[in-house]
Chains A and B, each alone.
Chain A
Amino acid sequence: MKTIVIGVIGADVHAVGNKIIDYTLVNSGYNVINIGVLSSQEDFINAAIETDADLIMVSSLYGHGEIDCRGMREKCIESGLEDILLYVGGNIVVGKQDFNETLKRFKEMGFDRVYPPGTSIDLALNDIKEDLGE
Chain B
Amino acid sequence: MSNYLLVDFGSTFTKLCAVDVTSEKIIGTAAHYTTVLEDISIGYHNALNLLYDKLGKNIEFDQVIACSSAAGGLKMAAIGLVEELTVEAAKRVCLGAGAKVDLVFSHHLTRKETKQIIEEDIDIILLSGGVDGGNSENVIYNAKLLGEMGVKIPVIYAGNKSAEDDIIDIFDHYQLDYHICENVMPKINKLNPKSARKTIREIFLKQIIEAKGIKKIESDIDQVILPTPNAVLEAAKLLAEGYLDETGLGDIVVIDIGGATTDLYSMCYATNRSDVVLHGLEEPYEKRTVEGDLGMRYSAPGIVKSLSEREIEYINQEKQIDIVKEVNERYKNVHLLPHNERDEFIDQFLAEMCAYRSMNRHVGKIHEVMTPMGKVFNQSGKDLTNVRYVIGTGGVIINSKRQKEILKQTTNILDDKAQLRPDDPEFLVDQLYIMAPMGLLAQKHPKLALKLMKENFKELN
Residues of A within 8 A of B (CB): 1, 3, 11-14, 31, 33, 35-38, 42-43, 46-47, 49-53, 62-63
Contact = CB atoms under 8 A, between A and B. Distances in A.
B371 A50 contact: no
Nearest to B368: A11
Contacts of B370: 11
B164 to A, nearest CB: 15
Interface in B171-202: 185, 187-189
A62 B373 CA distance: 9
Interface residues of B, number: 26
A62 B134 CA distance: 31
Given A11-B371, A13-B376, A37-B277, A31 B188 contact: no
Nearest to B89: A50
Contact of A46 (B84, B130, B133, B187): B84
B86 interface: yes
Interface in B334-377: 369-373, 376
Given A11-B369, A46-B85, A49-B82, A38 B135 contact: no
Contact of B371 (A12, A46, A47): A12
B66 to A, nearest CB: 39
Given A11-B370, A13-B371, A62-B371, A50 B135 contact: yes
B188 to A, nearest CB: 5
A52 B376 CA distance: 31
B188 A38 contact: no
Given A35-B188, A46-B84, A51 B277 contact: no
Counting chain A CB atoms within 10 Å of each CB, the highest count among B84, B131, B134, B376 belongs to B134
B135 A49 contact: yes
A51 B369 contact: no
A52 B135 contact: yes
Counting chain B CB atoms within 10 Å of each CB, the highest count among A1, A3, A47, A52 belongs to A52
Contacts of B129: 50
Contacts of A43: 279
B155 interface: no
B81 interface: yes
Interface string B433-453: 000000000000000000000
A3 B134 contact: yes
Contacts of B135: 49-52
Nearest to B81: A50
Contact of B376 (A1, A36, A38): A38
Nearest to A35: B188
A1 B188 contact: no
A79 to B, nearest CB: 9
Contacts of B134: 3, 50-53
Given A31-B133, A38-B369, A50 B376 contact: no
Contact of A50 (B86, B277, B378): B86
A14 B373 CA distance: 9
A13 B85 CA distance: 23
A50 B187 CA distance: 9
B362 to A, nearest CB: 22
7 contacts: A1-B133, A3-B133, A11-B371, A13-B376, A36-B277, A50-B82, A52-B136
A75 B130 CA distance: 19
Nearest to B374: A13
Nearest to B277: A38
Going nearest first, the 5 A-B pairs with the smallest beta carbon separation are A51-B134, A52-B135, A11-B369, A46-B82, A52-B134
Contacts of B84: 42, 46
Contact of B85 (A36, A38, A50, A53): A50
Nearest to A51: B134
A33 B85 CA distance: 14
A38 B280 CA distance: 11
A85 to B, nearest CB: 17
A38 B378 contact: yes
Nearest to B129: A50
A52 B138 CA distance: 10
Contacts of B187: 33
A128 B263 CA distance: 49
Nearest to A62: B372
Contacts of A42: 84
Contacts of B133: 1, 3, 31, 51-52
Contacts of A3: 133-134
Counting chain A CB atoms within 10 Å of each CB, the highest count among B86, B372, B376 belongs to B372
A50 B185 contact: yes
Contacts of A36: 277
Contacts of B188: 33, 35, 47, 50-51
B372 A63 contact: yes
A43 B378 CA distance: 14
A47 B279 CA distance: 13
Nearest to B373: A13
Contacts of B369: 11, 38
